[in-house]
């Protein structure tokens, strides 16, 4: 079965985007949504204090939703041009933080990205940010289901 791809972006690909990726894939699998999520970071160098492959805050929030990350947990990945090219939809989780990074590092894609407003730990606790991110991801899944599993966010299309 063909899957469209949504790419979630944050700074370090450690906390918010990983939570969104895993949650979206869980929702998609449970609802027959022909989409899969991937996630990447725009500034992995900012995460020098990140320990392990994924934030424990994200893991605990996912576990509270009955979602296990399994044994295949990977370390953060930096976004590259090809990620934009292969994604059908690109979402950066905080516009104020990520739009400047996208414009600086991937200027041709800045207008193709959907920007949300989910704060990082410097502005909101995980107890505030992750439920908001969950709400946004669930709304996205409903939107994609209503659109009939299609859609694109590519340059020039």
Query: What is the H or E stretch that residue 132 is in?
Result: helix 126-146
Report the pLDDT value the prediction gives residue 48, as an integer from 0 to 100: 72
- Residue at 90 is within a domain: yes
- Residue at 151 is within a domain: no
- Residue at 154 is within a domain: no
- Residue at 121 is within a domain: yes
The secondary structure of the chain in percent helix, strand, coil, rounded to multiples of 5, reads: 45, 15, 40
Is pLDDT above 80 for 96? yes
* Number of domains the chain is built from: 1
Q: How confident is the model at residue 153 (pLDDT cuts 50, 70, 90)?
A: low
Average the pLDDT over 109-132 and give the result: 94
Report the pLDDT value the prediction gives residue 69, as an integer from 0 to 100: 84
Please give the structure tokens belonging to residue 8: 């979630």
Reported for 107-110, long-range contacts at CB under 8 A and 24+ positions apart, including other chains, are 108/155, 109/84, 109/155
pTM: 0.92
Q: Which residues form the domain of 40?
A: 4-146
Question: Residue 18's domain is classified under what CATH number?
Answer: 3.40.50.2300
pLDDT digits (tens, 9 = 90+) for 24-39: 999 999 999 999 999 9
Average the pLDDT over 77-105 and give the result: 97
pLDDT digits (tens, 9 = 90+) for 54-77: 999 999 999 999 998 876 689 999
- Residue at 53 is within a domain: yes
Q: How confident is the model at residue 157 (pLDDT cuts 50, 70, 90)?
A: very low
Report the pLDDT value the prediction gives residue 148, as an integer from 0 to 100: 78
- Residue at 72 is within a domain: yes
């Amino acid at each position: 079965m063909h899957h469209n791809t949504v790419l979630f972006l944050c700074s370090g690909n450690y906390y918010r985007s990983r939570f969104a990726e895993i949650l979206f894939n869980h929702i998609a699998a449970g609802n027959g949504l022909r989409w899969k999520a991937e996630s990447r970071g725009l500034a992995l160098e900012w995460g020098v204090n990140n320990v392990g492959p994924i934030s424990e805050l994200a893991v605990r929030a996912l576990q509270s939703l009955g979602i296990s990350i399994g044994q295949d947990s990977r370390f953060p990945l930096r976004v590259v041009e090809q990620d934009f090219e292969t994604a059908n939809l690109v979402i950066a989780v905080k516009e104020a933080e990520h739009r400047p990074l996208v414009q600086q590092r991937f200027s041709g894609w800045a207008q193709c990205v959907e920007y949300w407003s989910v704060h990082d730990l410097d502005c909101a606790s995980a107890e505030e940010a992750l439920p908001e991110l969950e709400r946004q991801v669930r709304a996205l899944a409903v939107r994609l289901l209503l659109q009939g599993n299609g859609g694109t966010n590519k340059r020039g299309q």
